[in-house]
Amino acid sequence: MKIIPVIDVLKGVAVHAVEGKRDQYRPLRSVLCATADPVAISSHLKSSFNFGEIYLADLDSIMGGGPNLGIIRRVKDVGFRLMVDAGLANFEELLGSGVDQIIIGTEVCPGLDFVKHSLAKYGNRIAVSLDSKGGRLLSPSEGISAMGAVSLAKRLHSMGVTNLIFLDLARVGTKAGLDFTLLRDLRSAFPGNFVVGGGIRDLADFHMLSEEGIDGALTATALYDGTLSFGAIRKYLA
């Protein structure tokens, strides 16, 4: 199991994401770095922890604006394997900017045909994120939003998806803990690479995720507020 740091970018700066309430997001304040510049933060994550992989959520693009391609390129240049959720931004542009894996979030996904066509073109460079809030999947597609997370995980696996993320937006930024019952069910339903995010509190949560066979954990708040030190998470660094 590996820890993957997250940088949420809004209006060109890193922000503290809490419960998916984007109108309330504020520039990130971190013990690691005195600035909210996402490139500077990524540099500190590399120098302080030597992470090999990073997840960037381009909220400007997810919310319908253009992607922050300049920021994406500069974060890539720091030396990470780069996962990016930029909504429905041009995938060719993202790959040309150094993105290694494109995240298709259910929050913006127009339907499973879109996933199917993306897989046919880009293969395992695509990951699908089950974006959940209040126990329901978020999606403009009625077919997706009406499904349960476990049922959709099974369906995606049958379609050939090999990389799956479960993101509980209601828990993001709260350190409220994880729904391990649901995560166990999702792990059983999806035998591919499975990453989770939202609500991670401390080192004990990583231990439990590892024991459940989860492949990776997206982490932001517990890193930026100093809860997690290099020594504590060294075994989980990717």
pLDDT tens-digit series, residues 88-120: 999 999 999 999 999 999 999 999 999 999 999
Domain range for 47 is 2-236
CATH at residue 82? 3.20.20.70
Total domains in the chain come to 1
Dig out the tokens for 146 from the structure.
Answer: 């009406």
Helix (H, G, I), strand (E, B) or coil at 137: strand
Which amino acid is residue 39, in one-letter code? Answer: V
Quick one: pLDDT at residue 229? 81
Short-list 159, 216, 207, 160, CA closest to 187: 216
The rounded mean pLDDT for the chain is 94
Alpha-carbon separation of residue 50 from 54, 94, 197, 203, 234 (angstroms): 11, 24, 20, 18, 9
Quick one: pLDDT at residue 234? 78
Pairing of strands 126-133, 136-137: antiparallel
Q: What is the pLDDT of residues 78-90, one digit of tens each?
A: 999 999 999 999 9
pTM for the full predicted model:
0.95
Quick one: pLDDT at residue 43? 96
Q: What is the pLDDT of residues 125-169, one digit of tens each?
A: 999 999 999 899 999 999 999 999 999 999 999 999 999 999 999
| Confidence class for position 230, pLDDT limits 50, 70, 90 | confident
Active site residues: 8, 131
Helix (H, G, I), strand (E, B) or coil at 40: helix
Quick one: pLDDT at residue 235? 75
Spatial contact of 84 and 60, defined as CB atoms under 8 Å apart: no
Average pLDDT in the 50-65 region? 95
What is the distance between the alpha carbons of residues 1 and 40, in angstroms, rounded to a whole number? 26
| Confidence class for position 238, pLDDT limits 50, 70, 90 | low
Quick one: pLDDT at residue 60? 96
Burial state string for 99-136 with b = 16 or more CB within 10 A and e = fewer than 16: bebbbbbbbbbeebeebeebbeeeeebbbbbbbbbeee
Average pLDDT in the 184-211 region? 94
Residues 6+ apart with CB under 8 A from 96: none
Give the CA diameter of the chain: 45
The phi and psi torsions of 90 (rounded to 5 degrees) equal: -60, 115
Q: What is the pLDDT of residues 28-38, one digit of tens each?
A: 999 989 999 99
What is the distance between the alpha carbons of residues 104 and 2, in angstroms, rounded to a whole number? 21
| Predicted confidence (pLDDT) at residue 9 exceeds the cutoff of 70 | yes
Quick one: pLDDT at residue 16? 92
